Each structure stands twice: as structure tokens, then as C-alpha cells.
Structure 1
Amino acid sequence: MKHPVDVHVGKRVRHRRWMLGMTQQQLAEKVGIKFQQIQKYETGMNRISASRLWDIAEALEVPVSFFFEGLESRHEALDGIDGDILADKEALMLVRSYYAIPEAQRRRLFDLAKVLSDVA
């Protein structure tokens, strides 16, 4: 059975990998393992050891604590963690595309989104 903390850490690995535009294969090569192992880590099927998490954090250029962000308490973890919007690939692609827009246009788009969300 998957432990909710392992699932959360795996989602954070996937999230950061997507943010960098990195494939599972590329991450696996940087860490020195097979991409299938990355798949198992990202789904929470396999638990990531401390030393491996350190290697993954180095490869993804984040502190180890990044993988635990959003995990408020053991009680919350045991209830399940579904509120991470950036765990959704479409939402993450939208965020990446948004930040690729020049700043002046991005501000106008943000203002438009705020107006549209107030109407809904």
C-alpha cells in the first residue's frame, strides 16, 4: 500500500521535473538509475531513500525540503493530499506558458483572468 507521504514526495519530484522540462529518462541519467525507478518514485509505489532524495534534489536544483512543502502534518498526510493544483499536468503547462509571456503582456493577461474569475 502506498504511504501518503511517499505519494506527496513523488508528486513533488514530478512537479519539479515538469517545471524544468526534464524527462524521466534525463532525471534518471543524472541520478544514475533507470527511468522506470523514477516512474515508481513519482507514483509513490517505491519509497525514496534519504540519499536518493538528496541526489534527486541536486539533479532538480532544489533543497530536499522542497519535496515536503505542502505537507502540513502527519494527520493531513494520512487523510490524503489532493489539493496540489500544480500536480495537474495541464495546470503546470499553463503556468509555464504564462511565465514565457513578456512581463507587460503577462500583467494584462493576469488582470483579464482576475476580471473573468470575478464574473464566474
Structure 2
Amino acid sequence: MSENKLPNGIDRVVGQRIRWRRRELGLTQEQLAELLNLTFQQVQKYEKGVNRVSAGRLFEIASVMGAPISYFYEGAEAELSDERLRAAEDNGRVQAPLLDTDTLNLIAAFQRIGDESLRKSLLNAVRAAAEAFDPKQVQD
């Protein structure tokens, strides 16, 4: 595979957003694969950012999942900037972290809370807990 066809940080962001949306909809990888006429292994590879999602396939995914295409690129600009910094620092060895299952579950649950004041209160509690463990890592 030529170097320009290898997945990059943006591919990982798109894959992660596919995973988030799938989980928001309560779909399994198998169910999404069936809707897209793919194997669940292909969905898995898209979600992990191992395989690039073509423009046509992303359009199809967005349609099936009821999301605008832009949804899948949220965070991509920051990832591209971070990737360039890491590439400069690491001499080209780029590894973008993916969120683990607990983090994804937390995000999905948090997004279902409709009460804005409760959301802010919970966010402040999580920040306080994180700061208690490592005050240098907590940011607003």
C-alpha cells in the first residue's frame, strides 16, 4: 500500500466518530454492517481507523446513521494539528490515541442528560476528581 493510502489521524477521527454514532443509535457492528451491506469486520476496521473510509462510503454511512457528513469530521482539524506536532517531535512516528470503551460509554451517557445544570454539575465533579489525581492534566 502506498504511503498516501495509509490511514492517518483524520481516518482515526472519522472511525471514532462512526463508532460514537453507532453507539448513540444503539447499533452493534453487525447491525451497522448489515445496513451498509458490509461485513462487521469492515465496520470494525473503519472504526479503528485501520481502513480509510471513501467519500462515497462516508456519504452512505452518514445517510444510514442520520448524521451530516460534517459530524464525522468533528475534531479532525485538531487531530491534524496534533499529528503534525507529533510528527515533528517523533521524527515521523505518529500514534493517535483512541478512546477506550469506558470513555465512549461515559460520553454517550453524558450526552443523554437533558438537564444542562446537571450536566455542568457532573462535569465539574469529574474535573475535580481528575484534578485530585493529577492537577497538571486537567484543562477547561
- Common fold: TM-score over 0.5: yes
- The residue identity in structure 2 corresponding to 1:49 is S
Choose which of 40, 62, 76 in structure 1 pairs with 2:82: 76
Alignment RMSD (CA, Å)? 3.0
Paired position in structure 2 for 1:89: 101
- Classify 1:43/1:111 alpha carbon distance in 2 versus 1 (closer, same or farther; 3 Å): closer
Report if the CA contact (8 A) 1:8-1:44 is conserved: yes
1:71-97 per-residue CA deviation (whole Å, 9 max, x = no partner) reads: 226443443544x7xx33212323444
TM-score under structure 2 length normalisation: 0.64
Shift of 1:13: 0.8
Paired position in structure 2 for 1:111: 121
Shift of 1:50: 0.5
Paired position in structure 2 for 1:52: 57
Separation (CA, whole Å) in 1 of partners of 2:60 and 2:96: 25
Report if the CA contact (8 A) 2:20-2:108 is conserved: no
Large movers: runs of 4+ above 6 Å: none
Which is bigger in relative contact order (C-alpha 8 A, separation at least 6)? 1
Matched residue count: 115
